[in-house]
Amino acid sequence: MKVVQAMLRHSSVTVTGDTYTSVLPDLARNAAEQTAAIVPRRATITPINQRAAG
């Protein structure tokens, strides 16, 4: 946060925090969704204890 404050020349880190922390949950969700979208999916796997003995 301090680096962002310095880069944007905010008067205090509080101003930076108040301005950008409300945006962070949306950014985090977006990043998580984009990451999940590239993870290969497999068919539903039957747990070992439910597989037929054979």
Q: What is the pTM of this model?
A: 0.40
Model pLDDT, residue 51: 62
Sorted by sequence, the CB contacts under 8 Å of residue 17 that are 6+ apart come out as 1
Please give the backbone phi and psi of residue 15, each rounded to the nearest 5 degrees, phi first: -60, -45
- pLDDT, one tens digit per residue, over 4-52 is 889 999 999 999 888 877 777 888 889 899 998 998 877 676 777 766 6
The dihedral formed by the CA atoms of 11, 17, 22 and 28, expressed in degrees to the nearest 10: 130
Write out 1-54 in H/E/C secondary structure.
CHHHHHHHCCCCHHHHHHHHCCCHHHHHHHHHHHHHHHCCCCCCCCCHHHCCCC
Provide the residue ranges of all domains of the chain, joining segments of one domain with +.
2-39
Model pLDDT, residue 9: 93
